[in-house]
Amino acid sequence: MATVTRVPQAGMLAKAAGKRRRSKLAIREAIDGYIFIFPWLLGFILWTAGPMLASLWLAFTRWNLFMPPEWVGLENIRQLFADRFVGISLWNTAYYTFLSVPLGIIASLILALLCVQEMYGRAWFRTFFYMPSLTPAVASAIVWFWILNPEVGLANMVLKAIGLPPSQWIWSAKTSKATFVLMSLWGAGGNRMIIFLAGLQNIPQSLYEAAQIDGANAWAQFWHVTMPMLSPVMLFNVVMGIIGSFQVFTGAFLMTAGGPANSTLFTVLYLYRLAFEQFNMGYASSLAWLLFFIILGFTIIQLRLAETWVYYEGG
Amino acid sequence: MATATATEMQPAKRALGGRLKPWPYYVKRFFLYIIMLVLSAIFMVPLAWMLSTSLKTQGQVFANPPIWIPRPIMWQNYIEVLSVAPILRWLSNTFIVTVSATLGTLVSSSMVGFGFARLRFPGRGFLFGLLLATMMLPGIVTMIPTFILFKTINWLDTFLPLIVPSYFGGGAYNIFLVRQFYLTIPTDFDDAARIDGANNWTIWLRIMLPLNAPVLTAIGIFSFVGHWNEFMGPLIYLFSEEKKTLALGLRAFVDPYLASYHLNMAAAFYLTLPMIIIFFFGQRYFLKGVVMTGITGR
């Protein structure tokens, strides 16, 4: 639109005519552009922006779905700080996240470093590593529930066979969270490994050759060539990993229902209960926003810290 | 392990071609293969155990030391479990939801991606930034109002809440992928078509979509896997037994009070097998697709 009004000031008539035709085309193109992105735009309003505003409002109400919502001001927020289950669930979630994300990333990186080697059967090994991440969460809950059974499960049979004491796994408050971390590591060969693999394959061989000429050993090459070149991919994996694992839900919902002794009551599980079992929509929304701000905070901190350790080529 | 990698990358390439190397090289190779085999075994144990248990008689299930290859092989378990729960019904529900949602994802992500990659309009940069920002938005903040929205329009206990949103953009990630791919296609194609009188719709349908086939295949596979595995959505939106998806229905099979472990594993394998099949047929696209998403890191 702006271009059209500016045209007369351009001066020469011929030029103006040409511009007008072009701007007509430009308007046409802009209209088509909006039509093409319209599905997303509408979806964004209906399923992202709208719901976010709605849940922000809900966070200040009390609503059980049956009676009209009632504005309670900061009552929900006060309750968030008084509710001991909020504290427990955040602690559990943080515990899980800060173990599973670093360990998972190290595991994925090691698998990627192995898979990048030239060797026979490489595609098969990669397939074996990748397969677990494709297993539906419910199917893996079913099989892990069986493997981890303290009396008859495979896991304790193996421990016994190699002379280690059996564990109570998810049935003891002491080991339950660590067991969930262990189960999350089973998926370390998934998309995260493939992203690392792609990152590794993008590193030019010439850098390693140069490092070798300078006398760098394998260890030095890893820290001074591989890691800096991989750091943008690393940042992506860390950010997405933290966002994902702060929302851990399905495994605990299916296998432990938050127990034993609330040791696997993760925040999203508690939120699910508040919203869909107790129909406490207002309070659940305020908990959702609390979790959102925590995740947002971690994301921002990481993007800030990234400036100190992520190496962008040519940047 | 990490130390071995960098230096080995090169000699390895040459070694496959032939010619003898000094002996430490072969020792390293030997250990590399051992490590790979052990890790593969560890990663495959749960799935192998699922398959193995699913083919056992009840008596062999609890055998100690564990039996890996059941004898006799009880294929009947897979028939028997069908009488425990309406698994075939759930399976067909899952197919309906997954295929419809995947179709929506493909159509709308390729359309929106075209708009962002090829057409200039005011606010494009801002809107694209917004789109990228939604990739990092945890789904949890929008869950409750979205549920209320679907409840208000009476869509609870139907497949619609699981399908319809896919037709509105198909996910920020997928749009981003399609756009990146469109950007690699020279604009000469568009210009040539435009001179021949094609409008944007023709260009999208006749030129861009066919060229876009590889990235759409990858998106299609990811979307299929994603919807197939989805649990939270069906859990919130579906209630009646005959409407459940397989993932939701199998919730009752985690704890073996309903059936025995061997039947539970057979049920779990019904859910897992399509993923294994799709991986073997689409392996190439899986890897390519993830690699394309890897661009996001840069």
Chain A residues with CB under 8 Å of B36 CB are: 114, 119, 121, 125
Flag if A137 and B136 touch (Cβ within 8 Å). Answer: no
Report the run of H or E that residue A70 belongs to, with start and end. strand A70-71
How many residues does this entry show for chain A? 315
Residue in chain B lying closest to A147 (CA): B46
Flag if B279 and A130 touch (Cβ within 8 Å). Answer: yes
The per-residue pLDDT for range A199-242, each reduced to its tens digit, is 898 889 999 999 999 999 989 999 999 999 999 889 989 999 99
pLDDT at A26: 87
Q: Name the band, by pLDDT with cuts 50, 70 and 90, for residue B148.
A: very high
Chain A residues with CB under 8 Å of B236 CB are: 276
Residue from B121, B200, B201, B187 nearest A27 by CA = B121
Q: In this structure, what token pair is assigned to residue A283?
A: 């309070």
Flag if A226 and B5 touch (Cβ within 8 Å). Answer: yes
- Angle, CA of A179, A185 and A190, to the nearest 5°: 150
Is the pLDDT reported for residue B3 higher than 60?
no
The average confidence (pLDDT) of chain B is 87
CA pair distance B276, B95, nearest whole angstrom = 15
Q: What's the count of helices (H) and strands (E) in chain A, helices before strands?
A: 16, 2
**Any residues with CB less than 8 A from the CB of B6 and at least 6 apart, and which?**
A208, A218, A221, A222, A225, A226
Contact B23, A132 (CB under 8 A): no
DSSP bridge pairs for A61 = A71
What backbone phi and psi angles, to 5 degrees, belong to B45?
-55, -50
Closest in B140, B264, B293 to A142, CB measured: B264
What backbone phi and psi angles, to 5 degrees, belong to B85?
-150, 155
pLDDT at A182: 96
pLDDT at B138: 84
pLDDT at A50: 94
Flag the least confident range among B53-62, B103-112, B266-275: B53-62
Is the pLDDT reported for residue B91 higher than 60?
yes
* Complete domains list, chain B, with CATH: 2-80 (no CATH), 85-297 (1.10.3720.10)
CA pair distance B116, B122, nearest whole angstrom = 11
Classify residue A184 by burial, with Cβ atoms within 10 Å: 0-12, 13-18, 19+. Answer: buried
Chain B residues with CB under 8 Å of A234 CB are: 297
pLDDT at A4: 41
* Residue of A138, A295, A301 to mutate, interface with B, max B Cβ within 10 Å: A138
High-pLDDT (> 70) share of chain A, %: 92
* Residue of A29, A55, A66, A142 to mutate, interface with B, max B Cβ within 10 Å: A142
Flag the least confident range among A115-129, A136-150, A179-193, B60-74: B60-74
Is the pLDDT reported for residue B24 higher than 90?
no
The per-residue pLDDT for range A85-130, each reduced to its tens digit, is 999 999 999 999 999 999 999 999 999 999 999 889 888 999 999 9
Q: Name the band, by pLDDT with cuts 50, 70 and 90, for residue A20.
A: low
Contact B281, A140 (CB under 8 A): no
Give mean pLDDT, residues B162-176: 92
> What single-letter DSSP state applies at residue B297?
G
Ordered alpha helix ranges (H), chain B: 2-15, 23-54, 58-61, 76-84, 87-118, 124-135, 140-152, 160-163, 172-183, 188-195, 200-202, 209-211, 213-229, 232-237, 246-249, 261-294
pLDDT at A97: 97
pLDDT at B197: 85
Flag if B145 and A54 touch (Cβ within 8 Å). Answer: yes
Q: How many angstroms separate the CA of residue A254 from the nearest CA in chain B? A: 7
